[in-house]
Amino acid sequence: MDLKQATPQDLAAALESAEAAYTGLRGCNLALDMTRGKPAPEQLDLADEMLTIVGHGDTAGDDGTDYRNYGILAGIPEARAFFAEYMEVGPKEIVVGGNSSLTMMYDTIMGGMYYGMPGGDAPWKDQGTVKFICPVPGYDRHFAICERLGIEMLTVAKTPEGPDLDAVEELPKDPAVKGIWCVPKYSNPSGETYSDATVQRLAEMPVAAPDFRVVWDNAYNVHHLGDGPAPLANMLDACKQAGNPDRVLMFGSTSKITHAGAGVAVMAASEANVADALKKMFYSSIGPDKINQLRHVRFFKDMAGLLAHMDKQAEIVAPKFAAVDRALETHLAGKGIATWTAPKGGYFVSVEVLDGCASAIIEMANRAGVKLTPAGATHPYGKGPADSFIRLAPTVQSVAEIETAMEVFCACVELVCAKKLQETA
């Protein structure tokens, strides 16, 4: 029954049954956490062979270089070749870094602020106000970087094909707009993958700032839920073809492929951007953790090895997303109070509830022992304008735990939304 059309009596009945369900679940003393997209222990187990794959007397590269020692800032050649294939670029268009792509992105934006980007004639900080385009809902840490560095955030809505490009294309007419954040595949948190047309328009759109960058955070490149990785057009190729080879900086990591926090991060870009990044990195590092890079190359062997590994991950993760979807369909479908994504990959499900209800739902769930990401986290400054987005991260818990957490969540959605409808009737 659509609660928005319901009679006062039916609304009261729905509220009463949601309240009863919630009270029952609250008595169960639950302690479940769906706040962050973390791999489950079983996913991490799949990569444990890496812990012993590089052993005593076995630490040299193909050309005999001892990887226990300092140096090779851009990453070992074996890893550059491997991750070039992963990112679909040439080996000279890649830097293989440390354990975190977020660190690389932070350093990149910081480097733009402090030293500038190829194409520009001054550091961003010396050019007045700096602005970035932020498709919402988006990744909280992208927005946190902007907030930290005093970069003004311009929000644009998302569509199933990526950011709303009609809105995006207007903004870089202002030379203060220096970039846009993009999570182009299985986006965090809304799950969409950019269409070919989106990739092309982002590569081609006129921008006033010669040092404008598309920050292409392809964190979920191979993280499908069973159908194989979704196709995504090659953004660096598109930029080259559009005559804007330096426009894009692409990032990725194995954080959610091997061991989170002990993976390998990469940046892929034009040779000019790679040279600029290495020049900036020179001051902060004598070289990356090459042993970890070697471990990764030996563990996967080739892209077929990596893709087979991700198929095994999908077998673990897909039933959890199915459990989320099942609960939402069972409890909320047709009630007119919530819509949600059914992603084909990535780490999140996004739920949109009636305006003004998200924070109250999260608070109620929390009181019943189910922790959820704060409502505004998917928006700049931690404030969703309509208080309507909720991000669910269903990877780390077991299917049974997710089923319980979703019972709580759905009861909270129905309770808060029904109350809201009663108040506004």
Ligand X SMILES: Cc1ncc(COP(=O)(O)O)c(C=O)c1O
**Interaction between residue 235 and ligand X (CB under 6 A):** no
At its nearest, how many Å lie between ligand X and the CB of residue 189?
A: 8
Burial class for 144, CB neighbours closer than 10 Å (0-12, 13-18, 19+)? middle
Closest CA to 39 of 189, 193, 221, 261: 261
**Interaction between residue 32 and ligand X (CB under 6 A):** no
**Interaction between residue 108 and ligand X (CB under 6 A):** no
**Interaction between residue 101 and ligand X (CB under 6 A):** yes
**Interaction between residue 221 and ligand X (CB under 6 A):** no
> Of the candidates 21, 96, 183, 205, which one interacts with ligand X according to CB under 6 A?
183
**Interaction between residue 323 and ligand X (CB under 6 A):** no
At its nearest, how many Å lie between ligand X and the CB of residue 261?
A: 7
Q: Which is nearer to ligand X, 255 or 397 (CB)?
A: 255
Sequence-ordered list of residues with C-beta below 8 angstroms from that of 99, at least 6 positions apart, any chain: 253, 255, 261, 262, 263, 264, 265, 289, 292
**Interaction between residue 219 and ligand X (CB under 6 A):** yes
**Interaction between residue 184 and ligand X (CB under 6 A):** no
Q: Which is nearer to ligand X, 378 or 388 (CB)?
A: 378
In 65-100, which residue ranges form alpha helices assigned H by DSSP?
77-87
Which residue stretch of 72-80, 95-103, 270-278, 412-420 sits at the interface with ligand X (rule: CB under 6 A)? Answer: 95-103
At its nearest, how many Å lie between ligand X and the CB of residue 219?
A: 4
Identify each DSSP E strand in 211-347 by its residue range. Answer: 213-217, 248-253, 265-269, 338-340
Dist CA 259 CA 238 (whole Å): 32
Dist CA 39 CA 259 (whole Å): 8
**Interaction between residue 253 and ligand X (CB under 6 A):** yes
Return the exposure string of 203-222: e unless at least 16 CB atoms fall within 10 Å of the residue's CB, then b.
Answer: bebebebebbbbbbbbbbbb
Pair 171, 156: CB distance under 8 Å: yes
Phi, psi of 159 (to 5 degrees): -125, 175
> Of the candidates 139, 194, 216, 321, which one interacts with ligand X according to CB under 6 A?
139
**Interaction between residue 209 and ligand X (CB under 6 A):** no
At its nearest, how many Å lie between ligand X and the CB of residue 36?
A: 7
Pair 266, 94: CB distance under 8 Å: yes
Which residue stretch of 94-102, 108-116, 303-311, 367-375 sits at the interface with ligand X (rule: CB under 6 A)? Answer: 94-102
C-alpha to C-alpha distances, 139 to 176, 233, 379, nearest whole angstrom = 22, 21, 8
**Interaction between residue 180 and ligand X (CB under 6 A):** no
Task: Return the sign of the alpha-carbon dihedral for residues 122, 166, 152, 251.
Answer: negative
Q: Which is nearer to ligand X, 198 or 253 (CB)?
A: 253
H or E element, residue 416: helix 399-424
**Interaction between residue 265 and ligand X (CB under 6 A):** yes
Binding footprint of ligand X, residue count (CB under 6 A): 12
At its nearest, how many Å lie between ligand X and the CB of residue 24?
A: 33
> Of the candidates 35, 155, 244, 255, which one interacts with ligand X according to CB under 6 A?
255
**Interaction between residue 345 and ligand X (CB under 6 A):** no
Q: Could you list the residues that contact ligand X (CB under 6 A)? A: 37, 100-102, 139, 183, 188, 217, 219, 253, 255, 265
